[in-house]
Amino acid sequence: MSTTPPNGQGWDAAPPPPAYGAGPQPLRPDEEKTWAILAHVLPLIGLGFIAPLVIWLVFRGRGPYLENQAKESLNFQITLLIAVVVGAILTIVLIGFVILVVAGIGALVLEIIAAVAASRFEWYRYPLTIRFIK
């Protein structure tokens, strides 16, 4: 039996992929940062709570920073959805219009601040948010 590799190939070839069921591979820090930014920005283009929910479910356990930021964004989007529903119901007594405007402007400003913080790899926590998912 020979100890040299066949066809002159080196032994330093890439290792085989992990076995099935070996668990998720952790994300690199730049990948975590990119997905965290997307978790905060995608709701701005109309994806609401769906984008952070999908990001959190897909990347759960692959990086603590991304998991935290996706949950923060998801909690904020659920809180915002509740504010919009309450505002829509209260439009009957006209105060709902004020609630909808304040919620819309607040969401825009806070989501931009969160995305900028995520781009700096800072842990951001939305104010006035109900923490449904911990």
Domain ranges of the chain: 26-119
Amino acid at 11: W
Q: Averaged over 13-30, what is the pLDDT?
A: 70
Map residue 75 onto helix, strand or coil: helix
Tell me what pLDDT residue 10 has.
53
Q: Are 114 and 124 in contact (CB under 8 A)?
A: yes
Measured from the Cβ of residue 106, the count of other Cβ atoms closer than 10 Å reads: 16
Cα separation, 44 vs 40, in Å, equals 8
Structure tokens at 7: 């066809």
Global pTM value:
0.78
pLDDT at 15 over 90: no
Angle among Cα 114, 95, 99 to the nearest 5 degrees reads: 5
Quote the mean pLDDT of the chain: 85
